[in-house]
Amino acid sequence: MKRKFVTNLILLLFLNLLIKPFWIFGIDRTVQNIVGAESYGLYFALLNFSVILNILLDLGITNYNNRNIAQHHHLLQKYLNNIVGLKFLLAIGYALVCLAAAFIVGYSQVQLHLLFFLIINQFLISFTLYLRSNISGLHLFRTDSLLSVLDRGLMIVFCSILLFTNWLNIEFSIHWFVYAQTLAYGLTALITFGIVLKHARNFKLRLDWRYVRLILKQSYPYALLILLMSFYNRIDSVMLERILPDPLGKQQAGIYAQAFRLLDAAAMFGALFAGLLLPIFSRMIKKREELGQLVQFAFLLIIVPAILVGVTANFYGLSIMHLLYHEHMEQSAPIFGILMAGFSGIATTYIFGTLLTANGSLKQLNLMAFCGMLINIGLNLLLIPKFYAAGSAYASLVTQLLTAVAQLAIATHLFKFKINYLLLLKLTGFLLFAILVAKLSLFLKSWQVGVVVLWSAGLIYAFMSRLISLKALVAILKNEQE
């Protein structure tokens, strides 16, 4: 299982490093620079508004399906026949709830038009993720890896045509950005559906309500978990845009989006770990295999770069913001540092939260997520009026770290993991070493060289201290150990 995890993780990282940085820095950043912070801030707030409610599109079905298909391959056709129709019914319900909530909140006609297409996009994303859960559940990780970058690849093509050519003779706006996403997500969903049909062989669209009720009864704890986590991960920009007066709210949401974009990019790569580990953990738990080694191995693979990312953002945040944007760099830089400091918490969640999900420990996870939501909303209400976007960043940092510690504690208790004090000491030493190198690197004339020095020294330290064992990695790739 270790070898399967590492080899497929390498493929996933390669494909995502090939596609997603160009999307984030070449397309998404360019769009914000062209349309401005206020217009992009409006889009960003509406996007997060649609994301918060998108659990209504899924109700936990994707995670439940992934876990069950991984353990019982023969259920693919039976599940697919019923769930596809259910997903379309859920889409109608989601759209109605979103639009009703938008009317209650008081969105304008322009905002509602944009939100309508974002609702369509959320359905297409959710449907594709459900279809991919079948593919990864069958352990077809290479196919899933290619599909994971297909939507972004198509969006790069479509947006490049809109941004860098005059072929369509249009004036680019945030609306065209959303339309391009809709087309890319739609094509990705169609291609993914075709691949799943090939493996399901005999597909018949139907709704067996007894079977649907059974699925929903078993999946609703997953739905509640995703809803609660969506609140404390995505509500920041919505609260900024709503609490602060217009146009300050949109502007602060745009400034927050500048900093959040790189956190979101880092989280995309962290999510690759979770996507690979959920079916692997599920099968290992079913077979009662020993989990400790893989959990520690995966955790160290993600926490080492997470710490380096946090340190880099806090020492070189202003330089990075100046490189990426044309306005509000001084305001977004400290927010960037605060948000990226919380990435270690997000990285921890991707390992231990995934382990608990695979184990079906939803009661504990939901209690943790509910507390996280209350903490986040409370801190946002308290801090936004005084500190604006920085207040939201502090709320996010506190929430991510507290929920990560809670999940680590729950997993340690349930799986009877022994606390590795030597490992904790090594990680503390690694953090202090990274901070020291970052401080010294500031004396270099070029900040780019400083970042390279920081990461090079950090990775060398990680290998020399055996936080990450190079020998073990080579052995796994040579299939000398499983």
Arithmetic mean of pLDDT, 330-359? 93
Arithmetic mean of pLDDT, 322-348? 92
Q: Name the band, by pLDDT with cuts 50, 70 and 90, for residue 440.
A: very high
pLDDT at 332: 92
What angle in degrees, to the nearest 10, is found between the helix axes of 248-286 and 209-243?
150
Whether residue 262 has pLDDT greater than 60:
yes
Q: Regarding predicted confidence, which is higher, 188 or 254?
A: 188
Arithmetic mean of pLDDT, 233-237? 81
- Is 481 buried (19+), middle (13-18) or exposed (0-12) by CB count in 10 A? exposed
Token match 């710490």: residue? 307
Q: How many CB atoms lie within 10 A of CB 461?
A: 17
Q: Name the band, by pLDDT with cuts 50, 70 and 90, for residue 274.
A: confident
d(CA 131, CA 141): 13
Residue 176 in contact with residue 158, Cβ under 8 Å? Answer: no
d(CA 12, CA 243): 39
Q: How many CB atoms lie within 10 A of CB 431?
A: 17
Q: Give the domain ranges of the chain.
A: 2-418, 422-482
Tell me: the pLDDT tens digits for 180-197? Answer: 999 999 999 999 999 988
Q: Rounded to two decimals, what is the model's pTM? A: 0.76
Tell me: the pLDDT tens digits for 406-422? Answer: 999 999 999 999 989 99
d(CA 45, CA 236): 9
Arithmetic mean of pLDDT, 228-254? 84
Give which of 236, 130, 228 is closest to 188, Cα–Cα: 130
Contacts of 16 (CB under 8 A, 6+ apart): 148, 149, 268, 269, 272
Tell me: the pLDDT tens digits for 155-184? Answer: 999 999 999 888 888 888 899 999 999 999
d(CA 417, CA 454): 32
Arithmetic mean of pLDDT, 317-332? 90
Q: Regarding predicted confidence, which is higher, 155 or 203?
A: 155
pLDDT at 482: 41
Whether residue 19 has pLDDT greater than 90:
no
The one-character DSSP state at 203 is -
Arithmetic mean of pLDDT, 19-41? 85
Arithmetic mean of pLDDT, 318-346? 92
pLDDT at 480: 41
Whether residue 92 has pLDDT greater than 60:
yes
Give which of 145, 134, 124 is closest to 187, Cα–Cα: 124
Contacts of 385 (CB under 8 A, 6+ apart): 243, 244, 391
- Residue 153 tokens read as 């690849």
Q: In the predicted model, what is the mean pLDDT of the chain? A: 87
Whether residue 314 has pLDDT greater than 60:
yes
Token match 């801090």: residue? 383
Whether residue 3 has pLDDT greater than 80:
no
Cα→Cα distances 157→75, 183, 205, 307, 364, Å: 37, 11, 33, 33, 43
pLDDT over 70, % of the chain? 96
Q: Name the band, by pLDDT with cuts 50, 70 and 90, for residue 397.
A: very high
Arithmetic mean of pLDDT, 108-133? 93
Whether residue 481 has pLDDT greater than 50:
no
Q: Is 369 helix (H, G, I), strand (E, B) or coil?
A: helix
Q: Name the band, by pLDDT with cuts 50, 70 and 90, for residue 123.
A: very high
Position 102, amino acid: A
- Is 413 buried (19+), middle (13-18) or exposed (0-12) by CB count in 10 A? exposed
Give which of 70, 211, 225 is closest to 141, Cα–Cα: 70
- Residue 282 tokens read as 């599920």
- Is 459 buried (19+), middle (13-18) or exposed (0-12) by CB count in 10 A? middle
d(CA 81, CA 250): 43
Whether residue 4 has pLDDT greater than 70:
no
Cα→Cα distances 296→70, 304, 423, Å: 22, 12, 10
Whether residue 477 has pLDDT greater than 80:
no
Token match 């509000």: residue? 328
- Residue 81 tokens read as 């026949």
Any idea which of 29-33, 69-73, 366-370 has the lowest mean pLDDT? 69-73
